[in-house]
Amino acid sequence: MARIVLGVSAALALAGCATEPYPMATPAPEVAPPAPAPSIYDGAPAAVARNELLVCSPLDSNLGPVGADNQSLEYTPYIQTAAGALLRVPTEQACLSSGFGYRTTIGTGSAHTGIDLANPNGGFVFAAGDGWVASEDYRGGYGLVLELDHGRSVHTLYAHLNEIDPRLHPGVFVHAGQAVARMGRTGNATGVHLHYELIVDGVKEDPLAYGTPYQTAPLAPGAQVTEVGEPAPADNALGAPPAQASAPDAAPEALPDTSGDQTPACDPNAAYDPNGACAEAPEQAPPKP
């Protein structure tokens, strides 16, 4: 009799064991596929290379030449660099609120090492080009900062960010135009804007003026510059002897961004030497203090 009772309880126990795995097994498959966390960056709009850049206010300092319609006359959509073309304005919508170099109407007057692209509504910030995340961290007055390495010693830096795509970490590859962050005002910022820097060979360059067709031309043989300058040396203001009889009437093409940059001790007559100092003069255009 006792054997029968044991037999029944054992059978019940077995039945229990037999039925238990099923309820445990059913939820497992549902947990197994890790639900990919939806990211706002997946649904972000694509970066657009706009054909013009408006200044926020013509009264802002250090904007460079501005046209009658408040458009930056220096602006071109892409920065030509050794690492390829980079977006000159890697934001959704923004106006230029501050240029590169020494500025006087903001703060106490200091060297500004990038350009400011403002939008009170924020918006996405895009990778200016293909590259790798070099760093993403908080840097005091810069606030939340993302720095990308585009190769060939070309970096871009994005500061005052509201947030960075949490999936980005040093070494992660990003595609040109990929939404990587959101504009903010972290750190020392008076309003929502992107502080955008271009760093080439460790030197902070003007993201608005660097790598325009005008400036990259002298990097080639330099022939274009000499051809333009030959008919009429436009830089006689430097006191260069007018060795040539050509009348100073045919002004060279109205190339932008030469204002205030005539400081290089550059004899226009020496410009005919592609390797001379004048050939490199346009490279010094970014007004660095």
Judged by beta carbon, residue 195 or residue 204, the one nearer Zn ion is 195
Rg (CA), the chain: 30
Query: Of the ranges 37-45, 194-202, 220-228, 267-275, which one interacts with Zn ion (CB under 5 A)?
Result: 194-202
* CB-nearer residue toward Zn ion: 44 or 157: 157
The yes or no reply on residue 116 touching Zn ion (CB under 5 A) is yes
Q: Least separation, in Å, of the C-beta of 197 and Zn ion?
A: 8
Q: Which uninterrupted H or E stretch holds 226?
A: helix 223-229
- In the complex with Zn ion, the residue whose CB is nearer, 60 or 136, is 60
Instruction: Tell me which H or E stretch contains 132.
Output: strand 131-138
Stretch that binds Zn ion, among 1-9, 113-121, 138-146, 273-281 (CB under 5 A): 113-121
Count of CB atoms within 10 A of residue 61's CB? 17
- Give min distance, CB of 142 to Zn ion, in A: 9
Report the nearest approach of Zn ion to the CB of residue 270 (Å). 37
Q: Work out how close the CB of 116 gets to Zn ion at its nearest, in angstroms, rounded to a whole number.
A: 4
Cα separation values, 172 from 45, 115, 149, 196, Å: 21, 25, 10, 20
Query: Quick one: which segment of 28-36, 54-62, 110-118, 260-268 binds Zn ion (CB under 5 A)?
Result: 110-118
Please check whether residue 197 is in contact with residue 113, taking contact to mean a CB–CB distance below 8 angstroms.
yes
- Residue span binding Zn ion (CB under 5 A) among the ranges 42-50, 108-116, 169-177, 271-279: 108-116
The residue among 74 and 116 lying less far from Zn ion, judged by its C-beta, is 116
Q: How far is the CB of 63 from Zn ion (least distance, A)?
A: 13
Q: Exposure string (b/e) for 195-216, b if CB count within 10 Å is 16 or more?
A: bbbbbbeeebbbbbbbbbebbe
Report angle CA 86, 101, 51 to the nearest 5 degrees.
35
Calculate the alpha carbon distances from 154 to 25, 64, 130, 197, 266 in Å: 53, 23, 11, 11, 28
Burial group, residue 281, by CB count within 10 angstroms (0-12, 13-18, 19+): buried
Of 35-43, 111-119, 229-237, 257-265, the segment contacting Zn ion by CB under 5 A is 111-119
Count of chain residues binding Zn ion (CB under 5 A): 2
> Residue 37's CB: how many other CB atoms inside 10 A?
8
By CB under 5 A, which span of 109-117, 167-175, 203-211, 238-246 interacts with Zn ion? Answer: 109-117
Residue closer to Zn ion (CB basis): 44 or 87: 87
Say if strands 115-118 and 95-98 run parallel, antiparallel, or are unpaired: antiparallel
Q: Which of 61, 170, 51 is nearest to 111 (CA)?
A: 61
Nearer to Zn ion, 41 or 142 (CB): 142
Q: Find the binder of Zn ion among 118, 195, 198, 287 (CB under 5 A).
A: 195
Tell the smallest beta-carbon distance from residue 196 to Zn ion (Å): 8
Kindly tell me which of 195 and 278 has the beta carbon lying closer to Zn ion.
195
CB of 192 to Zn ion, least distance (A): 12
> By Cβ distance, which residue is nearest to Zn ion?
195
The H or E element containing residue 27 is helix 27-31
The residues of the shown chain that bind Zn ion, judged by CB under 5 A, are 116, 195
